Structure 1
Amino acid sequence: MNRVPIFLEESQTNDEYLIVDPYRIEHIKNVLRGQAGDPIKITLINHGTGVAKILSLSPQEIKIQLLSLTLGKPERLCMLIGVCRPPSMEKILEHATTSGVGEIHFFCAELSDKSYLKSKVLREELIQKKLLDGLAQSASGSHLPRVSLHKNLRLALDALPNNPSRFMLSPKATAWFSDYPPCEEPVFAIGPERGFTEKEETLLLQNKFLPVCISRGVLRVEMAVFHAQAQLELCQRLLSQKISETPLR
């Protein structure tokens, strides 16, 4: 946990916050070994990142004072992911949040194991915990991604933002992200372990998804997600660099 998550609802005054959650109290006391007067890095959820000072500690609560806050922005990446093995979904929720994602749409693909829909990983309280764990490991991220579950691909597509830059992972693809123009708000679709059916691929193509390849090898679902995130971030950085280097006329 690089940063301790803080919620706006925990505010006592304009700059003081009271933590009563045992998990965070234990982390501050036993992992960070925090003492009264010590500074700690914090993330004010859905607002920004900053530094706070510990005012007081007890086994039941910790009071902190916010010293500085840098406002953050929601991430722009949207991911469409076929329901897969619960351990994979658990890793995606946590580590994709660390890397930066704005929306995660899980959907029951035709080749998804339907029993996975009953997994505790998809319970709201565990989703929230994994998102917070992921955000706490982020150096600069401050906003929790929106997570939703859909019965099938068509319903998931109906819920997507109307972003023009859409990509889907396909074993038939020969193009990489770098072969397309850099984009600011990408949508990336990936199937479950057994991939998309031809019917699903056709539906994605009809919805203007471009097939891409992200590795020469066959990857686990969660590794494919992380590969895609890293490559899309690089493309976004190249776009930002190109814009900054464009001379004014």
Structure 2
Amino acid sequence: MLDALAQGYGKSTIIDNLSVTLQPGITALLGPNGAGKTTLLRTLATVMPPRNGRIRIDDVEIDDERSARKIRDRIGYLPQDFGFDPLMKVVDFVTYAAWMRGVPAGKWRQAVDETLKMVDLADRRRSRMRSLSGGMRQRAGIAWAIVGRPRVVLLDEPTVGLDPRQRLQFRKIIAELRDTVVVLSTHLIDDVAAVCDRVIVMHGGVARFDGSVAELSALGHDGLPGHSPLERAYMHLLPEGEQSL
């Protein structure tokens, strides 16, 4: 739950008075660059403390570093540019994530094996991270975020670098997480249409729309740019002057 969240960098306000309650299911964050999507994910991941307002995950209100530490093992977060040791093997990379998430040691192997199978990397488990293609590396990052089935999964542009077949695989992975709170930042409207239950459209640090995919599609009309009702509806929500492709 976010209540009147304010967030920013230096003197700049990026998110202003945002209130959102997240439920299990797949929520898309849509918006142009600079809309506040990455800042929101970083705040939810407890990387950045809020400037103002309240954040509550499960029964924990996050208001300082101590409360943030209580909740981090329930959060899986994949930033756009995630770090890794290039010499680390894929299986060790994902096992490390399982350890950080508090998965019991006796369950590491099963959790890691299941996750690598989900992201289609079981045959590359012994490969070093530096040897992976960009798409494989991105799937290893997704495995990092979901191993151990955290309560909240935050994915920032997770399909960057994936080819069409891999994007279909990604959608299958995400569809299996519907009992989890998944927040997916993306620019790809077709991914939203395929897997998301809810859409939040952000612009200028505020939510201009919050509802189902069908409700968003209903806002589109033929006079707007776009190749689908969902694309046209998204363009409808942008300020005049930004409604061109």
TM-score, length of structure 1 as denominator length: 0.23
TM-score, length of structure 2 as denominator length: 0.23
Give the number of the structure with larger relative contact order, counting CA–CA contacts within 8 Å between residues 6 or more apart. 2
